[in-house]
Amino acid sequence: MDKIIVKGGQPLFGEVSISGAKNAVLPIMTACILAPGKYILNNVPDLRDTRTMAKLLTIIGATVEYNNNTMVIDTTECNNPKAPYDLVKTMRASFYVLGPFLGRFGFAEVSLPGGCAWGPRPVDLHLKAIEALGADVSLESGSIVAKADSGLTGATIAFDISSVGATGNALMAAVKASGKTIIKNAAKEPEITSLAEFLIKMGAIIDGLGTDELIVTGVNELKGDFEFDIIADRIEAGTFMIATALCGGEITLKKAKSNHLDIVISKLKEAGAIVTSNDVSITVKSGGNINPVNITTAPYPGYPTDLQAQWMALMAKAKGSSIIIEEIYKDRFTHIAELTRLGAIIKLEDNVAVVTGNNKLNGAPVMSTDIRASASLILATLSANGESEISRVYHIDRGYENVEEKFRNLGANIYRVSE
């Protein structure tokens, strides 16, 4: 099993190219199922999760080719609308096939999902959405079986809470439903907007992009055979921005979109970093002096839960105390135990963490528990004195492309070893 070795204490300098967004490409890969055809996706990151999704597509009957961050998916021969437990248990995003299966085949059999080790993230919202569209849903031997023998029918879907995954599945199920579907309290994340833009290119009719109310007018047929560019990963960009604020130095993030990171940029400026941007890049400069800044995670455009763990690593070295409140996944704090091994001072009560800044972190062996916790440990160890060893790094390979190579190119002393 691979480990990452970090010798901390080096500031970061240079340029880093931000990869395509994992959370954008995964639903778009499943959307290709909706209409037979060949799809060329550009800027696809080489991740464990994209490889898992590609394997799932081949089980369904698609052919998938990947070379130099371009993925070609041919769904002409798809004929097996089933997602088995062995794959779905490793990646929750596999559940995105539910909507496309129903839209194309009127049938779906999808195992209940797995993924990161922390906390339950129920699929109830997904199921309520497709039931509202007329699907008959049952649980059989650990799998969701959904049927729409006569097709789906447009409806009003009102989510109790904003959910990226449920919004994506509802969109993909609704585009071929007869009549009009209104999705209220829809997720507004850039990844959902990107999915909607992909569906529109297929011939879907969707209004309200970027708002919390999406209106879908169903169409009888969708078309494939086109090319599409995956947006840059705002979470990867935010991770490198926070790393620079933590370690000091100056880096330029190429391909990053500042308008996807407004609140993160605002918080970094409060913390003392200097951030400038243009249409194609973001530059972050820091002397390593960190002001304490509170955050509360919230749906987009609020502070992203996927950058909470990284922010905690930053606040661990702030000059004072800060409060971090997790409102999306309230038990997403498995990184705290590992950060404290490095010397971080953190007290947790319910979903509120109080971080007392400590100017000195020291290297130690630590263990990854999920994708973003892994990122927080890399950031913390990069800023710590001495050497650290991060185990179970397969988690970070699910969400970050060539992470140690990118940091090494910025001057970090970081490398991977295999046992």
Distance from C-alpha of 105 to C-alpha of 99, rounded to nearest angstrom: 10
- Give the pLDDT score at 170: 98
**Minimal CA–CA distance to 325: which of 308, 310, 346?**
308
- Give the pLDDT score at 88: 86
Distance from C-alpha of 79 to C-alpha of 107, rounded to nearest angstrom: 11
The DSSP result for 27-81, as a single string, is HHHHHGGGSSSEEEEES----HHHHHHHHHHHHHT-EEEEETTEEEEE-TT----
**Chain region(s) in the chain for CATH 3.65.10.10:** 3-18+232-417, 22-229
What backbone phi and psi angles, to 5 degrees, belong to 204?
A: -70, 155
Distance from C-alpha of 98 to C-alpha of 109, rounded to nearest angstrom: 8
- Gyration radius of the chain over CA positions: 21
Scan for tokens 């059989």, then name that residue. 140
* CATH architecture of the region 3-18+232-417: Alpha-beta prism (3.65)
- Give the pLDDT score at 122: 66
Contact 163, 127 (CB under 8 A): no
Q: Which residues are catalytic?
A: 116
- Give the pLDDT score at 118: 35
Q: How many Cβ atoms sit within 10 Å of the Cβ of residue 259?
A: 11
Distance from C-alpha of 195 to C-alpha of 333, rounded to nearest angstrom: 29
Distance from C-alpha of 144 to C-alpha of 123, rounded to nearest angstrom: 10
Q: What is the mean pLDDT of each run of 10 residues along the chain (419 residues)?
A: 95 98 98 98 97 97 98 98 90 92 97 56 86 95 93 97 95 98 98 98 98 98 97 98 98 97 98 96 95 98 98 98 95 96 97 94 96 96 98 94 97 94
Which of these CATH numbers, 3.65.10.10, 1.10.287.1260, 3.30.450.20, 1.20.1050.140, describes 22-229? 3.65.10.10
- Give the pLDDT score at 396: 94
Specify the DSSP class assigned to residue 155: -
Distance from C-alpha of 210 to C-alpha of 344, rounded to nearest angstrom: 38
- Give the pLDDT score at 112: 85
